[in-house]
């Protein structure tokens, strides 16, 4: 039988490749983004409590109402906006499913989606499965600033969606209020949806404020924002997340969601609903991760790796141009196999890699792990 792939050019994700290589060579894994410490005991106990309390059957299609209420309360507290738990929130199997559902719900064959590269690697395949056409705008090292006039010049009658991501993986940059205002002006009076990937909303440093689309009432009317409990509560393996948007968009989102998963697992939703009611569980995150960022940066200051200070996410970029002419994929493999520290190259985040000598390291690790990795990286000649 002959089958025709919808993703004929798709390769195994760089995260799987580098984690596999790290395991094979016993390298310390600062590649794939996940914490090497467990989620909080309080949260684990809540999950166990609800698992053992007969909360094991289907929940409502958009998710447990108590969890949607807790999310709405959090949005009120962090963004000062009122979002309806009934109409404007849907619980998903992680942010990846939320992104996929939003893209497949709104993008029709032949329509264009503007993405900002380097871009998270699930966006392009999801667009292609929907029959859409990704149009990449290239952000440039080291500032990765966005020229919104150029974005506007990419817009045409086929443009259906613009995907943004703040704080940004892999660059660790964050969008400013003026960026969101510029975007709001571009999409105003056009049938363009903004898909805002905000999975690192609470991982933001140096006193900056996360500029969510939820803070901009006019922009929000054309937006779907996507979040992940994996990032917020150190539980990437649970694959729990949610999408937030105005009712008319979420009705269509849920129209696809119900035929995709219908609903996602029940007992963690009870636990998350309760855990969210204590705001310090997420408001403490910037300080927690900023210390890790600074610890890693300090430990690497005597190596030839030049940091680009992370403003958000749990990633930091390092420039290795002083050290090697290797391309980034080769250098990341060399670090993993020869130095014993796994890293992520940036080229897989681009349609046309610019050839920057930059790699990404994840600092969501115990200090002992970061210290051990720094000791190995100190072997890099100055």
Instruction: State the residues that interact with ligand GLN by CB under 6 A.
Output: 13, 15, 32-33, 169
Half-sphere exposure of 72 (CA within 13 A, CB side): 18
Q: How far apart are CA 219 and CA 82, in angstroms?
A: 15
Cβ(174)–Cβ(210) below 8 Å: yes
Nearer to ligand GLN, 32 or 78 (CB): 32
Q: Which does 167 bind (CB under 5 to 8 A by kind): ligand GLN, ligand PMP, none?
A: none
Return d(Cα 285, Cα 308) in angstroms, integer.
21
Residue 336: burial class (beta carbons within 10 Å; 0-12, 13-18, 19+): buried
- Partner whose binding site includes residue 165, from ligand GLN, ligand PMP, none (CB under 5 to 8 Å by kind): ligand PMP
HSE-up of 175 (CA within 13 Å, CB side)? 27
Neighbours of 237 (CB within 10 A): 10
Say which entry of ligand PMP, ligand GLN, none residue 358 contacts (CB below 5 to 8 A, set by partner kind).
none
Nearer Cβ to ligand PMP (32/303): 32
Nearest distance in Å: CB 33, ligand GLN = 3
The site partner of 32 among ligand GLN, ligand PMP, none (C-beta below 5 to 8 Å per kind) is ligand GLN
Minimum separation from the CB atom of position 382 to ligand PMP (A): 32
Of residues 58-117, those binding ligand PMP (CB under 6 A): 94-96
CA distances for 378 relative to 180, 301, 318, angstroms: 40, 9, 14
Residue 15 interface partner, choices ligand PMP, ligand GLN, none, CB cut-off 5-8 Å depending on type: ligand GLN
Shortest Å distance, C-beta 155 to ligand GLN? 28
Contact 357, 328 (CB under 8 A): yes
Beta carbon of residue 348, minimum distance to ligand GLN (angstroms, whole number): 10
Work out how close the CB of 285 gets to ligand GLN at its nearest, in angstroms, rounded to a whole number. Answer: 16
Nearer to ligand GLN, 300 or 364 (CB): 364
Q: Where are the beta strands (DSSP E) in 309-376?
A: 315-319, 341-342, 344-345, 358-362
174 burial type by CB count under 10 A (0-12 exposed, 13-18 middle, 19+ buried): buried
194 DSSP β-pair partners: 162, 223
Of the two residues 119 and 339, which places its CB atom closer to ligand PMP in the complex?
119
Binding partner selected for residue 118 from ligand PMP, ligand GLN, none, CB under the kind-specific 5 to 8 Å limit: none
Say how far apart CA 231 and CA 113 lie, in whole Å. Answer: 26
Residue number, 239 or 299, with CB nearest to ligand PMP: 239
Instruction: Report the DSSP pairing between strands 223-228 and 28-29.
Output: unpaired
Alpha-carbon distance 188 to 174, whole Å? 22
Give the nearer residue to ligand PMP in terms of CB position, either 63 or 230. Answer: 230
Site string for ligand PMP, 170-209 (x = CB under 6 A): ---------------------------x-x----------
Residue nearest to ligand GLN (CB): 33
CB of 32 to ligand GLN, least distance (A): 5
The end-to-end CA distance of the chain, in Å, is 57
Shortest Cβ distance from residue 113 to ligand PMP (Å)?
Answer: 15
Residues that bind ligand PMP (CB under 6 A): 33, 94-96, 120, 165, 169, 197, 199, 228, 230, 236, 239, 241
């Amino acid at each position: 039988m002959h089958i025709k792939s919808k993703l004929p050019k798709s390769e195994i994700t760089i995260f799987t490749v580098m984690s596999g290589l790290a395991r094979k060579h016993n390298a310390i894994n600062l590649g794939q983004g996940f914490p090497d410490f467990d989620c909080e005991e309080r949260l684990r106990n809540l999950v166990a409590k609800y698992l053992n309390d007969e909360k094991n059957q289907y929940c409502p299609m958009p998710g447990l109402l108590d969890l949607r209420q807790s999310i709405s309360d959090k949005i009120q507290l962090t963004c000062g906006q009122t979002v309806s738990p009934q109409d404007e929130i849907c619980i998903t199997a992680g942010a990846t499913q939320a992104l996929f559902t939003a893209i497949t719900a709104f993008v029709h064959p032949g329509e264009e989606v503007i993405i900002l590269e380097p871009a998270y690697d699930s966006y392009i395949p999801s667009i292609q499965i929907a029959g859409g056409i990704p149009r990449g705008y290239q952000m440039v090292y080291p500032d990765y600033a966005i020229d919104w006039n150029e974005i506007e010049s990419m817009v045409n009658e086929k443009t259906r969606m613009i995907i943004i991501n703040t704080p940004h993986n892999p660059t660790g940059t964050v969008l400013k209020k003026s960026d969101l205002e510029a975007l709001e002006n571009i999409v105003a009076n056009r049938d363009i949806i903004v898909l805002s990937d905000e999975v690192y909303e609470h991982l933001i440093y140096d006193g900056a404020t996360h500029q969510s689309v939820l803070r901009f009432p006019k922009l929000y009317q054309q937006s779907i924002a996507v979040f992940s409990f994996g990032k917020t509560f150190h539980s990437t393996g649970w694959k729990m997340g949610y999408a937030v948007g105005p009712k008319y968009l979420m009705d269509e989102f849920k129209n696809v969601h119900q035929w995709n998963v219908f609903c996602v697992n029940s007992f963690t939703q009870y636990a998350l609903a309760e855990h969210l009611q204590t705001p310090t569980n997420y408001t403490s995150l910037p300080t927690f991760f900023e210390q890790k960022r600074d610890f890693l940066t300090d430990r690497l200051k005597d190596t030839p790796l030049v940091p680009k200070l992370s403003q958000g996410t749990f990633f930091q970029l390092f420039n290795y141009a002083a050290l090697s002419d290797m391309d980034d994929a080769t250098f990341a493999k060399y670090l993993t196999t020869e130095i014993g520290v796994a890293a992520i190259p940036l080229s897989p985040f681009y349609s046309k890699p610019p050839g920057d000598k930059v790699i990404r390291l994840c600092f969501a690790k115990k200090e002992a792990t970061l210290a051990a990795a720094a000791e190995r990286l100190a072997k890099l000649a100055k």
